[in-house]
Amino acid sequence: MATQLPEDRAESVFEDYKPAYNALQATAEANRCLYCLDAPCITACPTAINIPEFIRKISTGNVKGSAKTIFESNILGMSCARVCPVEVLCVGDCVYNEMDRPPIEIGKLQRYATDIAFEKGWKFFEAGAPTGKRVALIGAGPASLSAAHRLRRFGHAVTIYEKRDVIGGLNTTGVAPYKMKADRSIEEVEWLLSIGGIEIHTGKEVGVAPTVAELEERFDAVFFGIGLGPDKHLGLPGEDLDGVLGAVDFIEQMKLQALDLQGASRAVVVGGGNTAIDAVREAVGVGFKHVTMAYRGDEKKMSGYQHEWKAGKLEGVLGAWRTQPIEYVGKDGHVIGVRCVKLDADKKPIEGTEHVLPADLVLVAIGQSKLLDALNNLEGVEMDGKKVTVDKHGATGRPGVYAGGDLANGAKEVVNAVAEGRDAAEAIHRYLMGTEEAADA
């Protein structure tokens, strides 16, 4: 089961951008927390961790209790502590912001407690008494893992199918390495699996083998947590040149293997979302001297987090705004530049503005397409444009079929996937035990 990753992975050059607290720092920060009632930080957390409570427990030296409080709401609390955009979630809503005082460093405190829990090998949860019910989960990312763990606490038998050879989903293959490296994600999954009774089949793409129909026959409920699938491309001339990659593909390669980047010095990242920002910062980190983000909108309009983009700028990344790629330019089969045109305020190309951004590597970060083949043609499952339609408990229109994570929310954070997986597990449990109405009432 355990995946052994190579030591010389390209991501290994990155340092943590938010260094871990030591005990003194954590206690001092914990003591600053006001211990609000109905705290806004809890409301801002998609998994609704009882943040003031876990922080108070750090302040008294009850780190074990603190970690338990975190994991009770968010079983992936260790990775979320590292990868959550806390500035726009819990920390952003800390009441200290209202006082113009520095908000509590909730992410770093959560990392402190959960890291110690891992280091000490604390286990907080046991599988429930067997119910005889079986649930299949498709995809081994945060949504499925969160659902699987909760289902095991209820005593249901759980099987996960993952098409990759590595487990953890984007937590393993897609998180910016200055936040968390792949081996840490795998460690977390293994810790989660220690509840026992979660069967995982890697290298199994559902829809190919087994089929959804087979799963529905063998299991009492099915959860889809398959994420978004491969990078979208622009469909431009030169797309098949060496050195033109989807950003998510590139990040995955960087995180899982060594990269030969000899002689490469210029990278262009196309897009303006968080994947694009991750990609530019990662390109800088692995050694590209000149990194440009080409975005068709304005700097202020980009959907990526401003605090992340600001960090990228400080690392030397340039932004090319209102810039639309129209062709990849190559030489000897390898990309050497991106031909672009400037756009006006209505996103119309401006005549005479064609130019070439030199590039040894082009990363396309304009979103991922949906992995929907497995779900297509399932009666009752509906799509809402980009995503699978689910109710607030993760149920699709087909009885016994649930979904969560990027597939259902259209691409949010890890913490959203964890919350949706957990809540879907609660709903699946009610469905399996025939108590659904009581919970909805």
Distance CA 41, CA 44 (A): 5
In whole angstroms, how close is the CB of 30 to another protein at the nearest point?
8
Helix (H) or strand (E) holding 311: helix 306-314
How far apart CA 164 and CA 344 sit, in angstroms, is: 42
Longest dimension (CA), the chain: 71
- State which residue, 24 or 314, has the beta carbon closest to another protein: 24
Q: Which is nearer to another protein, 331 or 392 (CB)?
A: 392
Q: Which is nearer to another protein, 88 or 95 (CB)?
A: 95
> Least separation, in Å, of the C-beta of 105 and another protein?
15
DSSP state of 392: T
Q: Which amino acid is at 369?
A: S
The nearer residue to another protein, 36 or 318, going by C-beta atoms, is 36
Question: How many helices (H) and strands (E) in the chain?
Answer: 16, 15
Is the Cβ of residue 42 or residue 428 nearer to another protein in the bound state? Answer: 42
Q: How far is the CB of 74 from another protein (least distance, A)?
A: 23
Closest CB 25 distance from another protein, rounded Å: 11
**Closest by Cα among 274, 138, 228, 273 to 410:** 228
Contact present, 193 and 107 (Cβ < 8 Å): no
Comparison of 59 and 66: residue with beta carbon closer to another protein:
59
**Residue 313 in tokens:** 């700028």
Which residues make beta-bridge pairs with 192?
none
Amino acid symbol at 221: A
Please report how close the Cβ of residue 27 comes to another protein at its closest, in angstroms. 7
Residue 82: CB partners within 8 Å, gap ≥ 6? 18, 107, 111, 175, 179, 180, 184
- To another protein, the closest distance from the beta carbon of 24 in angstroms equals 10
Residues that bind another protein (CB under 8 A): 27-28, 31, 34-40, 59, 95-96, 98-99
